[in-house]
Structure 1
């Protein structure tokens, strides 16, 4: 659930980062909500969404490992099948050699057969053939022994790989339940709010983001946008085509996305596969200064790199914010920026670049994704396979 918390710098009511929601949530008719400021509500939602997003990226990482593990199990099983077939053939050849040895057995040594032969040259030729057969027998036995060892080793590795796959599947189920639980906490807080409180919350958020964006742009942190590479251009255009599609945790399109699902698929479609999760994208891709950003670069947010967006240019990003929101264009400072990475550091910048047209309404809606509280946070049907 790609967190889109208000960037650092908003003056909020002081509250510990790990504070729990007050028992009973915010009152409706009772007036209990009067004891909680809009800033406090925003802080609580930020914390709950960030916890949910962190759990989601953990789930996504396990999903990626499980996907690779399934491929490894399939590869090992195929290799084991080939080795067992080779072992079957080797055993057949060994059996034929054993029968030949029994049928052609003789108590005479090759030296005595040479002395008693009427034609010594024929005996020498025959000895050469016998030697060749002996070498072939040795090779057959060696092949049989090697195939048996390989089959045993592959069988062991296949069992271990399957055990790892089952362990990852169990872990994924636990992580799925963790995400569901954290999203239910968000939903409980949202449904406790009156329409007036939701409206005040949305207005407070918009004002805060606008102020943070203004300060961010005035700080000089961003330089003039560079030209994207050809692949960066394709990634941007693909991301723009996804505007308006709903956020759904653990998904990679085509109907819905979570934050890293959008960025990873955009770059895969552009021709450069990148890691699936925001943490891995931050850890493994080339980092670039914010002053050198170019369209297509990825902007990573929060100290634990739990959210990611794709840079559009002019201080704007395209992102999948979180449940209840849609893929949208947002100010780069809508979230606290950790840094930026470039999936194609060797990509040559285009000489000419025409940015894609951003549809009207693409910037509408909450950048934090909680303007509406009528969604049900359930796991995607395709998330557990």
Structure 2
């Protein structure tokens, strides 16, 4: 192990005349670190303790090379894998704020770091097995949106391409994760989704190499709200369509692509419309009732989707469209599944449940539904 100081950056506000003119100069940020020795475990060589030694610091902010972040004065961190980690400390003192960055070089992978094997079962199916010793928790995450918390799992990728498989674990030493790639060389011609009409209408089918792109319809009567037993919008957007800055700068300023290859949902950007109550509950806003907002949400990004036939109590047999990994279809109120009420070559009519009074905790208790119409981008 060795360290290299790569840079020290100072920044502070210039003292003002009057009560601030006697402020001291900012103290230079600095820290020490050392390997944490466990006398009962000679194999643990990758755990370090960091100490903020900045004189007079009252605010501490650490970034441990992307492995972890902390606001504690002192922190202990486990580094699972060999490599060079840039350790950054931001420290605020009465005179201002300064930062310092040092390189920490980890020379060997830890035996406690996440690791797994991959076995190719056939052209499309892979079997994975965690080899991490004594994990407290572990989860496999697959590129198609599936996941598993078991030691062994299988996954199928029915389309040609390269796919990520990630294992995240937490051991007594700390958390770590590792990603491996697998390659499928051809499409699975027996995949029933290739001949499913709803899949074809939504994505353009296998022939649409870049998928099929939809935009929110900007016409009267194209969406709205209603009771869950209603089949048409009953209020709000029903008469006016999506209008106002919350839509102009949100959903209407975005595009939504579905590609059957890899079952990927691909929004053009992070611009979304957020329900007023969800904005307050999840994004720290203070919106008055029924005043939705436009928002740039980093979670609204490319993600796998699932299209599943379901029997809905009110709609009968329909398809449920679920977007995974915390992404969603342009309107946020902590709901990630929409029911497809109607789909054609050029229009997509969906609805999802919501419950402002319950603060979006249980979809099963949703008593209202929200409707949107999307049209095919020309």
TM-score (normalised: structure 2): 0.25
Q: Which has the larger radius of gyration?
A: 1
Q: Which has the higher contact order (CA 8 A, sep 6+)?
A: 1
Whichever structure has more strand as a proportion of its residues is 2
